[in-house]
Chains A and B, each alone.
Chain A
């Protein structure tokens, strides 16, 4: 079981309270009508599947019901950080801590 820190509740909770919701930081094209089919297709269907650091969206489904972001290592399952929607990750693939 993962022990996940909810940035809204401010404490660690069991994994069973949460659901993973896929890749984070996907920006909807500002003007969909101006997108090429490839751009729109990439936005809708294509997701990263990295080995190592991955930024994911999770929801605290049974707790505060809020979405937030998780930086997780897909190899070790180690959760590096959690942060609110709209914030930027501090831990990135290159290992930089900004």
Chain B
């Protein structure tokens, strides 16, 4: 394992279980028969950047990720426990279980060639899952994006405005959405989600 991760290794136990919303709220999971909202446990998140025209680099990335990086704009794919969101033509967000992240970055740096970028952004953002029949209603209150099923099919991911902040919204199942939000806005957005979902939980 690379020297890169010595700091994370030393504090692996300390950071396990600490997520931006859990740090400020006792309960990070609410649900009713119409909606369920919960924060994911701490994940490893990476920002990957390579040129999609570079087939050698794309092949190396695909081998380590267990599948191709999605090159279709606004598409999201899952390979096992790993999710990859298209962010821009040469920019992807990779989310995986926290334990896998430490070796993934070292393996990626060892295998990748040429001019590329991989940045560990695990501590910078958190993942909130919205599910249930009313999940779409909550999104409609919060974002200018068209979330009609025809305009927002399963497997679509968008970066957009969310409340007075920003979020990446991914539809991972017919009634299930993932929000990736900034750590520093997590408290505010959790309060927003609790307010927006209140009528579906009473």
Contact = CB atoms under 8 A, between A and B. Distances in A.
A13 B146 CA distance: 9
Contact of B87 (A10, A16, A17, A65): A65
A62 B158 CA distance: 9
Interface size on A, as a range, is 10 to 19
Contact residues of B: prevailing secondary structure: strand
Interface residues of B, number: 13
Contact of A10 (B74, B91, B144): B74
Contact of A64 (B88, B144, B145): B88
A52 to B, nearest CB: 29
A16 B144 contact: yes
A65 B161 CA distance: 12
B34 interface: no
Contacts of A90: none
Contact of A14 (B87, B144, B166): B144
B87 A64 contact: yes
Contacts of B74: 9-11
A17 B88 contact: no
Interface string B164-175: 001000000000
Contacts of A66: 88-89
Interface in B33-84: 73-74
A22 interface: no
A10 B73 contact: yes
A17 B161 contact: yes
A35 B89 CA distance: 36
Contacts of A11: 74
Interface in A6-34: 8-11, 13-14, 16-17
Interface in B128-161: 144-145, 158-161
Contacts of A63: 158-160
Given A16-B144, A65-B87, 10 more contacts: A9-B73, A9-B74, A10-B74, A11-B74, A13-B145, A14-B161, A16-B161, A63-B159, A63-B160, A64-B88
12 contacts: A9-B158, A10-B73, A11-B74, A13-B144, A17-B144, A62-B159, A63-B159, A64-B73, A64-B87, A64-B89, A65-B159, A66-B88
Interface of A: 8-11, 13-14, 16-17, 62-66
